Amino acid sequence: MGTIYDMTVKHFQQKVTRDKFLQKPHINIKAFSIKEVEMRKPGQEATVKVDFTTDQMGIEFTFTKEEKWVWEDGAWCLNISSAKPMLPSGNKK
């Protein structure tokens, strides 16, 4: 989980400490693959669709999540403040 935190935008890191982030409920990702990348503002902002596979209590779930990434300080960073919760396929909010 620490690695994900390190990839988030600075604005998020200023609001949420690493310790608070690590205390939040999380899931263990077994595998992932990038389905689609759409450049919203070339070189500045992208929307990325990612397929995730997780194992919860011996049951494998696969779901797709749309993420917002921004170019910040010379690297692509996850704009987690705009992220929606991860839900297995079929569960929509």
The dihedral sign for the CA sequence 17, 30, 74, 68 = negative
Does residue 87 lie in a domain region?
Answer: no
pTM for this model (two decimals): 0.71
Residue pLDDT, tens place only, 7-27: 999 999 999 998 988 888 777
Does residue 89 lie in a domain region?
Answer: no
The CATH number of residue 7's host domain is 3.10.450.100
In whole angstroms, how far apart are CA 29 and each of 1, 3, 43, 47, 91?
A: 10, 13, 28, 20, 18
Segment 21-49 mean pLDDT: 89
Task: Examine the pLDDT at 69 and tell me if it is beyond 60.
Answer: yes
Number of domains, the chain = 1
CA atoms within 13 A on the CB side of 50: 20
Does residue 93 lie in a domain region?
Answer: no
Cα 69 from Cα 76, distance rounded (Å)? 6
Q: Domain range for residue 73?
A: 2-82
